[in-house]
Amino acid sequence: MTPTAIRTALTVEDVTLTYPDGASRLTAVDHVNLQVSGGTVAAITGPSGSGKSSLLAVISTLIRPDSGRILLETDTGTVDLASLSRAEGAALRRESIGIVFQQPNLIPALTAVEQLEVMSHLGQSLLTSRAARRETHTRAMELLDAVGLADHHAKRPAQLSGGQRQRVNIARALMNTPALLVIDEPTSALDSERGAAIIDLILDIVRTHNAATLLVTHDRTHLHRMTTVHRMLDGHLTPERLIARTA
């Protein structure tokens, strides 16, 4: 598979998010700044409740922040993710953002290849041409091959191991060649060997697809392999390390 490399960059500028808390408001994300270039991984660590998931939700356009800008730059231009309407955010997620959830959330009735194919049909007419369907199937099979699951394309989630389901999850997130990849705790449900294999896969895919990537993790084992590492505490994001060591 030889995907077309696109120039991408993510810039988070002074982003704040608050939630109602009785008569006042609770600050979940507090004036966060972050920059991630295409083909690199910014890891975010921190204790539970520190704001990591809220930050991911804001950057993924799932929640609109109170203030700040989130600029996603690609070859086709720059868009402020923080200014999008709900409908615009949903459309952009289909086209330009890949999300790898902590739990794969695969559809039980669909095979591995169908999990990927359905991503290309979201928001599209049901009257898809036969040629378009063949192209979608080919793309899905190439991605499954890239994550080592081509031979398991006809299996449903119940027939796959935890590590295999997570690989399908990653392949699904890449189906529409995203400019931005957001990954939440990819190794939390895996043993150390399978976790290491998933990190290997993510790093290889990020470089190949040139996606600007955010990865939230509690597992510090693989942080030395990330491009940058940031720690989140009480809504504040601070850099731990800005230059990756050689893996």
Q: Are 88 and 27 in contact (CB under 8 A)?
A: no
Evaluate if residue 245 carries a pLDDT over 60: no
Q: Is residue 3 part of a domain?
A: no
- pLDDT recorded at residue 133: 85
- pLDDT recorded at residue 205: 84
Q: Are 238 and 230 in contact (CB under 8 A)?
A: yes
Q: Is residue 232 part of a domain?
A: yes
> Could you tell me the sign of the dihedral formed by the alpha carbons of 188, 151, 138, 160, in that order?
negative
Average pLDDT over residues 226-245: 86
Q: Is residue 200 part of a domain?
A: yes
Q: What is the DSSP string of 149-202?
A: -GGGTT--GGGS-HHHHHHHHHHHHTTT--SEEEEE-TTTTS-HHHHHHHHHHH
Average pLDDT over residues 166-171: 90
Q: Are 139 and 120 in contact (CB under 8 A)?
A: yes
Q: Are 65 and 16 in contact (CB under 8 A)?
A: yes
- pLDDT recorded at residue 218: 87
Q: Is residue 48 part of a domain?
A: yes
Give the type of residue at 59. Answer: I
- pLDDT recorded at residue 3: 47
Q: Which residue has the tokens 């290849």?
A: 113
Q: What is the band of 7 on the pLDDT scale with cuts at 50, 70, 90?
A: low
- pLDDT recorded at residue 1: 43
Q: Is residue 77 part of a domain?
A: yes
Cα angle 111, 87, 81; round to 5: 100
Q: Are 65 and 48 in contact (CB under 8 A)?
A: no
Q: Is residue 134 part of a domain?
A: no
Average pLDDT over residues 134-154: 92
- pLDDT recorded at residue 196: 87
Average pLDDT of the chain is 88
Specify which residues 72 forms β-bridges with: 10, 79
Question: Can you point out the beta strands (E) in the chain?
Answer: 9-21, 24-37, 41-45, 67-74, 77-80, 97-100, 180-184, 212-216, 228-233, 236-241
Evaluate if residue 241 carries a pLDDT over 90: no
Question: Of 180, 209, 226, which is closest to residue 78 (Cα–Cα)?
Answer: 180
Q: Is residue 74 part of a domain?
A: yes
- pLDDT recorded at residue 51: 94
Q: Are 98 and 8 in contact (CB under 8 A)?
A: no
- pLDDT recorded at residue 194: 80
Q: Is residue 125 part of a domain?
A: no
Query: Percentage of the chain with pLDDT > 70?
Result: 92
Evaluate if residue 26 carries a pLDDT over 50: yes
Average pLDDT over residues 211-217: 94
What CATH number is given to the structural domain containing 95? 3.40.50.300
Average pLDDT over residues 95-113: 90
Cα angle 225, 231, 235; round to 5: 150
How many Cβ atoms are within 10 Å of 122's Cβ, its own excluded? Answer: 13
Tell me the residue length of the chain. 247
The tens digit of pLDDT for each residue in 29-80 reads 999 999 999 999 999 999 999 999 999 999 999 999 999 999 999 888 999 9
pTM of the model: 0.84
How far apart are the C-alpha atoms of 159 and 243, rounded to whole Å?
40
How far apart are the C-alpha atoms of 164 and 159, rounded to whole Å?
9
- pLDDT recorded at residue 246: 43
Residue-range definition of the domain harbouring residue 191: 9-106+178-241
Average pLDDT over residues 184-192: 83
Counted domains in the chain: 1
- pLDDT recorded at residue 140: 93
The tens digit of pLDDT for each residue in 127-142 reads 567 888 889 999 999 9
- pLDDT recorded at residue 124: 56
Q: Which residue has the higher pLDDT, 247 or 32?
A: 32
Q: Which residue has the higher pLDDT, 119 or 18?
A: 18
